[in-house]
Amino acid sequence: MSTPGERQAPLDDRLGVIEHVAHRFGLTDLSNRVAAVGTQTSDSRLAVVVLGAFKAGKSSLLNSIIGDDVLPVRAIPSTCVPTVLQFGEHLSATVRSTSGAVSSVSPWALADFVTEGANPDNIKGIERVEVNAPGLAAFPNLVFVDTPGLSSVHETSAALSTRWLPRVAVAVVVVSAVQPLSAADRDLLQQVAVHTPHVLVVVSKIDLVAEPERADLCAYVRREAQAGAGYTGPVLAYSTAPPYGHLRARLRAQLARLQAHEREVAAALLAHRTERLVQDTRTYLALAIAAAEADAESATRLRTALAAERARLPATRTQAHRLVRPAAQQLQAVLVDQLQTELATLSAEVLCRLPDQARLWRGSCRRRVETDPLTTDWG
């Protein structure tokens, strides 16, 4: 694992320029994102943030991953305070108040703090609850976050973009099978893409959809997510119901892959965040020029100031590319590795089924198999 110093050094210049621009123009969005990059360089654990609409099944999904029903699950809008879950040898919980107070509580009493019913509009002033869970032993470098549900596109933009999205390393976007990919979900996917390249879409409650329609439903979500938000990542069906252990295992396998390649994931995340920050800073600067052109005097002042910023940004971009390239190479190596493993499994399966299938064939194909099924060249 890289030390904070190793990750920080090459970023200082870029972040310094962007922070300067953000401060000068009062761009809090950029300031938050610069702060998030700074946090990433000092905290090596990856934040897997579970996001989605009200009642999509976010808390249920996390309970099934940790193997304990500690997060309150309700049929009415429930979670109102985020809960951060990480590996710990013993199940325990801590409540952090906005005042700075910290207190240990029973992990079975989280409903008193994180639910709308017991803590309406967060009158108890809780910033977050932290849970140590032995069920996360397989993911010591991941920190999971259960977030309050989103009710509208507006809320997605307002609350999340400033508070949670900048901290997301991996976004698990939960979409309910009974309300697949609403406008708010598409908006969320678009916003998430600004902050991380690591996104998983999970179609929850798949047990509520008849078996023959499940594949179509996932294909629909995939199509809509691509058309509406340019999303091309995995779409995983999910259910917390007992017969669907194989679907839960698939999600765990995806998370295990992130855990195993934590360094590459973190490098790609840092490169992505920096590159997007550079792009957005350029856009803000261009807008600032356009706005200032309405006022000749301020335009002259601003132009002089912006010329200095612009002179520094090309160097910033080059540095960002330097960061992206090694990360991309590392990821490529990982993908080739995975493909080779899957190819070996697939080849074994094809060779195993071939004799039975070949009996049904006619003509030249059949003659080739009969000659030597194992050395026949199928290419």
Which residues contact ligand GTP by CB under 6 A? 54-60, 73-75, 77-79, 149, 204-205, 207-208, 239-241
| Cα-to-chain-centroid distance, residue 179 | 21
State the binding partner of 204 from Mg ion, ligand GTP, none, CB within 5 to 8 A by kind: ligand GTP
Q: Please identify which residue in 40, 41, 63, 79 interacts with Mg ion, judged by CB under 5 A.
A: 79
Task: Closer to ligand GTP by CB, 59 or 316: give it.
Answer: 59
State the binding partner of 55 from Mg ion, ligand GTP, none, CB within 5 to 8 A by kind: ligand GTP
Does residue 59 touch Mg ion according to CB under 5 A?
yes
CB of 76 to ligand GTP, least distance (A): 7
230: left (phi over 0), alpha (psi -120 to 50) or beta: left
Binders of Mg ion in range 168-187 (CB under 5 A)? none
Task: Closer to Mg ion by CB, 78 or 156: give it.
Answer: 78
Binding string to Mg ion for residues 5 to 44, with x set by CB under 5 A, is what? Answer: ----------------------------------------
CA distance 316 to 307: 14
CA distance 98 to 124: 9
The SS3 call for residue 79 is: strand
CB of 273 to Mg ion, least distance (A): 27
CA distance 56 to 176: 5
CB of 148 to Mg ion, least distance (A): 7
CA distance 129 to 93: 7
The SS3 call for residue 154 is: helix
Question: If you ran DSSP here, which 8-state letter would residue 169 be given?
Answer: S
Count the helix, strand and coil residues of the chain and give each as a percent rounded to the nearest 5.
60, 15, 25
CB of 314 to ligand GTP, least distance (A): 44
CA distance 193 to 233: 11
Task: Closer to Mg ion by CB, 60 or 196: give it.
Answer: 60
10 φ, ψ (degrees, to nearest 5): -70, -15
CB of 254 to Mg ion, least distance (A): 21
Task: Closer to Mg ion by CB, 128 or 317: give it.
Answer: 128
CB of 212 to ligand GTP, least distance (A): 18
State the binding partner of 65 from Mg ion, ligand GTP, none, CB within 5 to 8 A by kind: none
| AA identity, residue 215 | A
CB of 151 to ligand GTP, least distance (A): 9
CA distance 87 to 68: 13
Residue 284: burial class (beta carbons within 10 Å; 0-12, 13-18, 19+): middle
Residue 351: burial class (beta carbons within 10 Å; 0-12, 13-18, 19+): exposed
Task: Closer to Mg ion by CB, 136 or 327: give it.
Answer: 136
Report the residue number whose CB is nearest to ligand GTP: 149
Q: Mark the segment that binds Mg ion (CB under 5 A) among 23-31, 75-83, 225-233, 323-331.
A: 75-83
R_g over Cα of the chain: 25
What is the token pair recorded at 89?
């040898």
CB of 163 to ligand GTP, least distance (A): 16
State the binding partner of 208 from ligand GTP, Mg ion, none, CB within 5 to 8 A by kind: ligand GTP
Binding stretches for Mg ion (CB under 5 A) = 58-59, 78-79
